[in-house]
Structure 1
């Protein structure tokens, strides 16, 4: 660092030093020099803080320039640049959520320097399809997340997806049928994954934290659908797009952008429909819970759930199908269950409609 204001290693690459900086580097250097020492409370930031802010900002603009081929001048920094950074950090670089939150706080400070206070939103805003629990958010449900529970005609949307683009339809079909996250569905290599009696999700094919899992076929339709997907995808290839709309070779990053664009085209966004692509995991959870013989806390309770211990076993099984590290995380899809030993029943937590003991399970 040079006075904690600009990466010294970069200055050493420029003959003549800071006076010869050009383009975004020069403008960013000047903005950092003019603002980095100021704190919100009016005091002077420490040298370590100034260094961290400068390095983070430089790395962000270098990423936009060299990796994402977006070359904004710092004063023209906009929200879509923030979105591109966050999605690249999370999906491509696989940065820790805590690190991304820190980087966003620095971008938030920077946006104030250029007169755009309030422009930088939260990580949840830029990653709408990512599991809330993966972002460290408490996600106790008070209503169902599944598409069908929010008035979305799943079959109709699936038909729209296939009509618009077959690969898009296959991606959504894989999510609904096997409980795959977006990245898992895009990276799915059906010929390799299909084991006859179930599907293997491999560590390098997009699972959260690289955790592999096996998804047994619990209903005949799952075996039929994986066979149909294999008929439409070349052996050794993945379900995601092979080419971009412009005909260039596709990457995971371009596939993720295409996925979001296609979702918007069929009217599936939090703003438009109240659900996102990630909520297809909740749709899968609803279906698998019924296959395993219990009702969700956010579903139409019938009173036919099993006793507490057996219920926990079945919830654990569904959580494993979804690739969740702990059964408790299913509360972000199901709502949560609570045992009431005094009344010898199971009560629902976080779901007002089913809070009364009158609708709880029978004695165990």
Structure 2
């Protein structure tokens, strides 16, 4: 069986679910595979599958499990990583159990030749760092500068926005695009409008269950209610959030209230915002297909759905401080900057104020007009 067949077959664990527990000592038992497969075997994918079955559900730092999305991303990356190392470097017999720094260095050199972004390189090495723990090599992966050089632009990942990723920054008017999207697909129209009105992540908008989502001040999370003392009504966002962290966003204007009324009228009680009968994966594919159809891509119009989240928090910051954020040209911290950033963090669903720099920029970093920096999806 050649590698392509193995990859599509049973060599790797099934996606979107937890691997079943194998009978101890059975040929399919991961421990049996790892103890019997010879080092450097051509059946490396089966060896990798056994390691994934044992460890892929584990969190890298905490005693808890991880999401299916994280498991999927790890599995896809690691399969491609070892395939690249074996086929595109001199290490044709690299075994998943004997991964070393020489293999990682060869892979990083490949990534650099392919012009991968700084964020991507850092993310890949982070997965390999976790993988090192799985195979009993906790200190395997070194700092990024060891592989790329201390003077490389990829040595440090700067999580401070220098370019405004809002749609308005690219002269794309949401209010003009929405009727086109809505006419083509009613549900995607609602989903993207939730991103625009409430700063939701696309996944949050697709998983949003409107019935019972409104909260009074007394019912809202204490930290969110305290951050917005002028509001009495909040919207609970808890499905599809990053890290499973729920948050309450204040309902502050008539446009938001009108949207919630339309969404609640369209969605059956207990259901999410999306075409009835669609799975989450089908809803996701449909969402991005529709946006691409109307040019909402980085390649065509220069904007993506996540840019509406950037726009929401930047517009809110400017409304509260009376001055543009650093990424929009502000060069000094306006009055109320600290409080506005604390509130922005709560709107975004983050506990750390410094995360707002990924959206708003920092006064110490002047905005750049050319060479857009990579977007940090937070």
Call closer, same or farther: CA 1:288–1:91 in 2, change over 3 Å: farther
Contact 1:141 1:350 (C-alpha < 8 Å) held by counterparts: no
Q: CA deviation at 1:115?
A: 6.8
CA contact (8 A) 1:31 1:113 kept: no
Contact 2:328 / 2:367 at 8 angstroms: preserved in 1? no
- In 1, Cα distance between equivalents of 2:284 and 2:118: 17
Which of the residues 354, 358, 361 maps onto 1:328? 354
Select between 311-320 and 114-123 the one with higher mean Cα deviation.
Answer: 114-123
| Residue 286 in structure 1 maps to residue 286 in structure 2 | no
Asked if structure 2 preserves the Cα contact closer than 8 Å seen for 1:186 and 1:240, the reply is yes
How much has 1:208 moved relative to structure 2?
1.0
Query: Which runs of 5 or more structure 2 residues have no equivalent in the other structure?
Result: 1-10, 13-21, 29-36, 54-65, 90-106, 121-155, 217-232, 370-378
Question: What corresponds to 2:328 in structure 1?
Answer: 299
Q: Which one of 88, 104, 109 corresponds to residue 82 of structure 2?
A: 109
Cα deviation, residue 122, structure 1: 7.7
Residue 57 of structure 1 contacts residue 107 of structure 1 at CA under 8 Å; is this kept in 2?
no
Map of 1:33 onto structure 2? 41
Instruction: Please name the residue that 1:92 is paired with.
Output: 68
SS of aligned partner of 1:271: coil
Equivalent residue for 1:351, pick from 367, 371, 377: 367
In 1, the alpha carbon distance for the partners of 2:286 and 2:25 equals 38
Deviations 1:279-303 (A, max 9, x none): 1100111222233234211225498
How many corresponding residue pairs? 263
* Residue 141 (structure 1) aligned to one of 141, 157, 161: 161
Aligned-partner Cα distance in 1 for 2:312–2:200: 9
Aligned to 2:190: 170
Provide Cα deviations, 1:162-194, integer angstroms capped at 9, x if missing partner. 011000000000011011111110111112212
Distance 2:331 2:38 in 1: 65
Q: Following the alignment from structure 2 to structure 1, what is the Cα–Cα distance between the partners of residues 207 and 308?
A: 17
TM-score by length of 2: 0.58
Aligned 1:48-197 pairs, distance under 5 A: 54-57=46-49, 92-95=68-71, 100=74, 104-111=77-84, 113=86, 138-195=158-215, 197=233
In 2: Cα distance, 1:201 partner to 1:139 partner: 25
* Aligned match for 1:233, one of 267, 283, 286: 267
CA change 1:60–1:122 in 2 (3 A) is: farther
- In the other structure, the counterpart of 1:221 is 255
* 1:269 maps onto 2:297 in alignment: yes
Aligned pair partner of 1:314 in 327, 337, 340? 340
SS in structure 2 of the partner of residue 318 of structure 1: helix
Aligned-residue offset at 1:95: 3.8
Q: Rate the CA distance shift 1:107–1:58 in 2: closer, same or farther, 3 A.
A: farther
Consecutive unaligned residues of structure 1, counting only runs of 5 or more, are 1-5, 15-28, 37-52, 62-89, 126-135, 244-249, 338-347, 354-364
Q: Secondary structure at the match of 1:142?
A: coil
Does the 8 A contact of 1:56 with 1:103 survive in 2? no
Paired residue for 1:207, among 207, 226, 241?
241
SS in structure 2 opposite 1:214?
Answer: strand
- What is the CA–CA distance in structure 1 between the aligned matches of 2:273 and 2:254, rounded to whole Å? 21
Bigger helix fraction: 1
SS in 2 for 1:336: coil
**How far is the alpha carbon of 1:35 from its aligned partner?**
7.6
